[in-house]
């Protein structure tokens, strides 16, 4: 049997979705299956090898036979041999992005299926190892895709309604008690970042939300080609090909540190991770580094009511979320039954509960679309933006997420809890670094 006869003889389906638009993975392992589709071309059990088509270029994947629980020391294989029944019955396996080898372009990671007896390529399946990355290190194409998607979302804000404008309307003074000053600060902002990222991915699925690591200098971020440079009045200026030049109204942001050579006025990452080994202590990072990063500037970014009008807000908060994710990984804080993972385990109205919206079982405003005052409830008068957007690669959380839905974001303890994102320096395995 020659290669032409066996071309596309096999099919890989990732996470039960045969639509290639859903072939986006992270460090978190997801179920997949492979089967023979041209059963007439195969009469016996077929041994195949799954591997990266080009190990030296683009994103890379790792493969597993059983599900790899975190901490098991199973980091996956670059190649996996499986035996496929000739009748087309599917054979399960698991796939993940290879830590440290994310994609730089859409579908640049290609899984090749090879007949072990002949070496013929039976099929190829393109995927993207889509990871949130340090904004200062993005390649030109990655940066431009992010900016273009953000600009398209901004264009949807006709008359200041919908699209990018929704985020400023949500993160305004009316919602302060929903998002700040209590235990739900980190989960609420995780959902907020996820909301924006999913909207951007609906415009361009190759986009992920980059982060500003504010304890390091970021000379490639605060430029006219990226997030703008203030003129003498503090109004941002952009290159003529930067789509953010069309943001309306214009953004005012003036740093009080040298963005080329200095970090913001924050404690460093090591200090942040050492704030405490239980959530009740760790969440004081809302003040420093989070608050200190905001107030390292004058302008919109320095005030809660206006901060989300500045695109920098989302890169700042992606880093806040990354620091929480890194703390969770370092401390192994994914167990939602433990107060070490999250302080308030019940729901509003329970004995020992805190304000509604900050308990593990509470739904979060505005995605729950609850407004006004009710029993144990004191929500803002409006709920802009609607429910949490759907994802093409995960089915979690619901359209009205709870605080607890944000905890096990990698599906470390329950694969069904995956939220569909990962960070370039936060692995899935507990023992990988």
Q: What is the arithmetic mean of pLDDT over 112-137?
A: 96
**b (16+ CB within 10 A) / e for 13-36:** bbbeeeeeebbbbbbbbbebbbbb
Cβ(110)–Cβ(58) below 8 Å: yes
Do the domains 135-417 and 9-129 match in fold?
no
Cβ(309)–Cβ(228) below 8 Å: no
Res 80: pLDDT:
96
Q: How confident is the model at residue 430 (pLDDT cuts 50, 70, 90)?
A: low
Cβ(147)–Cβ(156) below 8 Å: no
User: Domain residues of the chain, as ranges?
Assistant: 9-129, 135-417
pLDDT over 60 (residue 6): no
What is the fold, at CATH topology level, of the domain defined by 135-417? di-copper center containing domain from catechol oxidase (1.10.1280)
pTM tops 0.85, yes or no: yes
Res 138: pLDDT:
98
Q: What is the arithmetic mean of pLDDT over 120-148?
A: 97
Instruction: Pick 7 or 419 by higher pLDDT.
Output: 419
Q: What is the pLDDT of residues 361-406, one digit of tens each?
A: 999 999 999 998 655 568 999 999 999 999 999 999 999 999 999 9
CATH of domain 9-129: 2.60.40
Q: Given 3-state DSSP classes, what are the helix, strand and coil percentages for the chain, each rounded to the nearest 5?
A: 30, 20, 55
Query: Which residues 6+ apart lie within 8 Å of 338 measured at CB?
Result: none
Strand, helix or coil at 325? helix
- Residue in 72, 124, 65, 57 with CA at minimum distance from that of residue 95: 65
Q: What is the pLDDT of residues 212-242, one digit of tens each?
A: 999 999 999 999 999 999 999 999 999 999 9
Rg of the chain (C-alpha set): 23
Token output for 260:
């080329």
Res 76: pLDDT:
87
């Amino acid at each position: 049997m020659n290669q032409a006869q066996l071309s596309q003889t096999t099919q890989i389906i990732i996470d039960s979705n045969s639509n290639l638009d859903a072939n986006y993975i992270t460090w978190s392992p997801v179920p997949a299956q492979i089967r023979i589709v041209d059963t007439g071309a195969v009469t016996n059990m077929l041994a195949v090898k799954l591997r990266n088509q080009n190990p030296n270029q683009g994103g890379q994947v790792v493969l597993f036979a059983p599900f790899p629980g975190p901490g098991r020391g199973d980091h996956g294989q670059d190649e996996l041999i499986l035996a496929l029944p000739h009748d087309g019955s599917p054979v399960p396996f698991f796939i993940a992005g290879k830590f440290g080898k994310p994609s730089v372009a859409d579908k640049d990671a290609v899984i090749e299926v090879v007949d072990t007896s002949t070496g013929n390529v039976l099929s190829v399946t393109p995927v993207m190892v889509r990871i949130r990355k340090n904004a200062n290190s993005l390649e030109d194409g990655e940066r431009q895709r992010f900016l273009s998607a953000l600009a398209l979302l901004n264009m949807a804000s006709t008359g200041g309604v919908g699209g990018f404008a929704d985020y400023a309307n949500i993160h305004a003074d009316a919602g302060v008690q929903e998002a700040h000053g209590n235990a739900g600060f980190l989960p609420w902002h995780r959902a907020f970042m996820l909301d924006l990222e999913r909207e951007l991915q609906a415009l361009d699925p190759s986009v992920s939300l980059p982060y500003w690591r504010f304890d390091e200098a970021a000379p490639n971020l605060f430029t006219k080609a990226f997030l703008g440079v203030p003129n003498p009045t503090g109004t941002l200026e952009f290159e003529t090909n930067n789509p953010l030049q069309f943001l309306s109204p214009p953004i005012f942001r003036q740093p009080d540190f040298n963005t080329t050579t200095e970090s913001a006025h924050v404690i460093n990452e090591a200090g942040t991770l050492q704030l405490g080994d239980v959530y009740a202590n760790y969440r004081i990072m809302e003040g420093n580094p989070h608050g200190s990063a905001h107030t390292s500037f004058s302008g919109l970014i320095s005030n809660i009511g206006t901060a989300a009008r500045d695109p920098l807000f989302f890169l700042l908060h992606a880093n806040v979320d990354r620091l929480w994710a890194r703390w969770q990984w370092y401390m192994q804080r994914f167990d939602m039954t433990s107060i070490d993972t999250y302080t308030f385990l019940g729901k509003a109205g329970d004995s020992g509960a805190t304000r509604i919206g900050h308990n593990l079982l509470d739904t979060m405003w505005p995605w729950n679309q609850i407004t006004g005052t009710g029993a144990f409830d004191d929500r803002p008068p409006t709920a802009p933006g609607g429910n949490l957007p759907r994802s093409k690669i995960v089915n979690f959380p619901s359209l009205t997420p709870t605080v607890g839905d944000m905890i096990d974001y990698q599906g470390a303890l329950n694969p069904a809890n995956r939220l569909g994102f990962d960070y370039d320096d936060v692995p899935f395995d507990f023992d990988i670094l």
